């Protein structure tokens, strides 16, 4: 009977550890919904990908959404500006080089912190950053920094660079120059957030 108890205790400990690990995997806790700026920066800091929407050259000016991995900085040091590593073999950067108008949509659902709610539930945060998608000059310290932080968040990008030579495909750094912020994270419509408020330096503290 003692062994049974020990076994059940071990099982409980394993479950507890798994739960703690799962909870910690998400990084800093989601901010209170009343703090829209913190929620927006948290989303950009915690997510690894989103959908870039550009004006399609090939589809007569239709809006064209496409998945893109991104980074806004090292963990806990994000600046809020999404940087991308893309090739003009893909239509999104080709579109942006013709017409830089763009939006980038990230949301909370893939983080697993919406508590079982539907992705469209307004309490499951959704952020759209609208602005211009600009090529970053590869000879700048900004491009070097962006590549470094992208490779930390997306190690596969670096691995691919070494293995199949992504440079052969003309991968370059792009960034979103943000002009408008649209955030839904509660009932009652979008929150008003200015770009200046959003870009304020923010120290991420594990709560």
Is the Cβ–Cβ distance between 69 and 157 less than 8 Å? Answer: yes
Binding segment for a second copy among 26-34, 44-52, 141-149, 192-200 (CB under 8 A)?
44-52
Asked if 76 touches a second copy (CB under 8 A), the answer is: no
- The 52-71 contact track toward a second copy, x by CB under 8 A, reads xxxxx--x-xxxxxxxxx--
Distance in angstroms (rounded) separating the CA atoms of residues 126 and 182:
8
Cβ 160 to a second copy, closest distance in Å? 8
Q: Could you say which of 30, 126, 147, 175 contacts a second copy (CB under 8 A)?
A: 126
Total site size for a second copy, rule CB under 8 A: 50
- Please name which of 40, 96, 44, 46 lies closest in space to residue 66, comparing C-alpha atoms: 96
Is the Cβ–Cβ distance between 34 and 97 less than 8 Å? Answer: no
- Please name which of 185, 6, 153 lies closest in space to residue 68, comparing C-alpha atoms: 153
**Which residues fall within 8 angstroms of residue 3, CB to CB, at 6 or more apart?**
none
Residues that bind a second copy (CB under 8 A): 1, 3-4, 7-8, 11, 48-56, 59, 61-69, 85, 89, 91, 101-105, 107, 109-110, 117-121, 126, 128, 130, 154, 156-157, 180, 182, 189
């Amino acid at each position: 009977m003692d062994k049974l108890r020990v076994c059940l205790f071990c099982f409980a400990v394993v479950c507890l550890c798994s739960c703690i690990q799962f909870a910690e995997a998400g990084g800093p806790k989601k901010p209170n919904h009343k703090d829209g700026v913190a929620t927006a920066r948290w989303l950009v800091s915690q997510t690894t990908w989103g959908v870039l929407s550009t004006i399609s050259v090939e589809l007569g000016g239709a809006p064209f959404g496409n998945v893109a991995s991104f980074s806004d900085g090292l963990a806990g040091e994000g600046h809020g500006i999404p940087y991308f590593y893309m090739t003009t073999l893909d239509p999104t950067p080709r579109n942006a080089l013709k017409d830089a108008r763009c939006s980038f949509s990230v949301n909370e659902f893939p983080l697993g912190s919406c508590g079982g709610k539907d992705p469209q539930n307004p309490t499951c945060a959704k952020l759209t950053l609208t602005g211009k998608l600009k090529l970053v000059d590869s000879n700048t310290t900004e491009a070097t920094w962006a590549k470094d932080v992208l490779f930390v968040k997306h190690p596969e990008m670096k691995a691919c660079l070494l293995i199949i030579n992504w440079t052969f495909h003309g991968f370059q750094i792009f960034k979103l120059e943000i002009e408008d912020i649209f955030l839904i994270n509660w009932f009652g419509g979008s929150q008003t957030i200015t770009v200046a408020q959003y870009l304020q330096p923010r120290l991420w503290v594990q709560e």
